[in-house]
């Protein structure tokens, strides 16, 4: 994984390599996107809050949507760079490591 301190836009090759390490994440325009399914609404809310703690600690703020009562969709982009950076892939890896059950 590329170091989280880099806010340079990832090249297509770097992005492809990062996605290989981030199962089920996809590129949608200039964002990384993934939908997680939790056990129930309470777990979705806890997961949302955990994402918020990681994001705030990194001073990086994804769009997070809780929907369908147990689904959480995360959209990551580095807004001030206009696309996907290593900062996004680092947060994606941290989110993937969170427990959801």
**Structure confidence at residue 1 (pLDDT):** 43
The pTM for the full model equals 0.91
Q: Would the pLDDT of 101 be above 80?
A: no
CATH of the domain at 45: 3.30.1360.20
More confident residue, 3 or 87: 87
Residue 1 forms part of a structural domain: no
Question: What pLDDT, in 10s, does the model give residues 11-44?
Answer: 999 999 999 999 999 999 999 999 999 999 999 9
Residue 28 forms part of a structural domain: yes
Q: Which domain covers residue 43, as residue numbers?
A: 12-96
Question: What is the radius of gyration, based on Cα positions, of the chain?
Answer: 13
Number of structural domains, the chain?
Answer: 1
Residue 5 forms part of a structural domain: no
Q: At what angle do helices 86-96 and 12-20 cross, to 10 degrees?
A: 10
- Give the mean pLDDT of 42-65: 95
In this structure, are strands 71-76 and 63-67 parallel, antiparallel, or unpaired? antiparallel
Q: Would the pLDDT of 100 be above 90?
A: no
Distance CA 6, CA 28 (A): 21
Residue 101 forms part of a structural domain: no
């Amino acid at each position: 994984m590329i170091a989280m301190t880099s806010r340079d836009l990832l090249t297509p090759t770097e992005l492809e390599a990062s996605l290989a390490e981030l199962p089920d994440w996809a590129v949608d325009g200039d964002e990384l996107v993934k939908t997680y399914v939790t056990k129930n609404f309470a777990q979705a809310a806890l997961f949302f809050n955990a994402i918020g703690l990681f994001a705030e600690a990194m001073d990086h703020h994804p769009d997070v949507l809780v929907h369908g009562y147990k689904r959480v969709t995360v959209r990551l982009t580095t807004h001030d760079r206009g696309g996907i950076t290593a900062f996004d892939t680092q947060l994606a890896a941290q989110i993937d490591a969170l427990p959801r059950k």
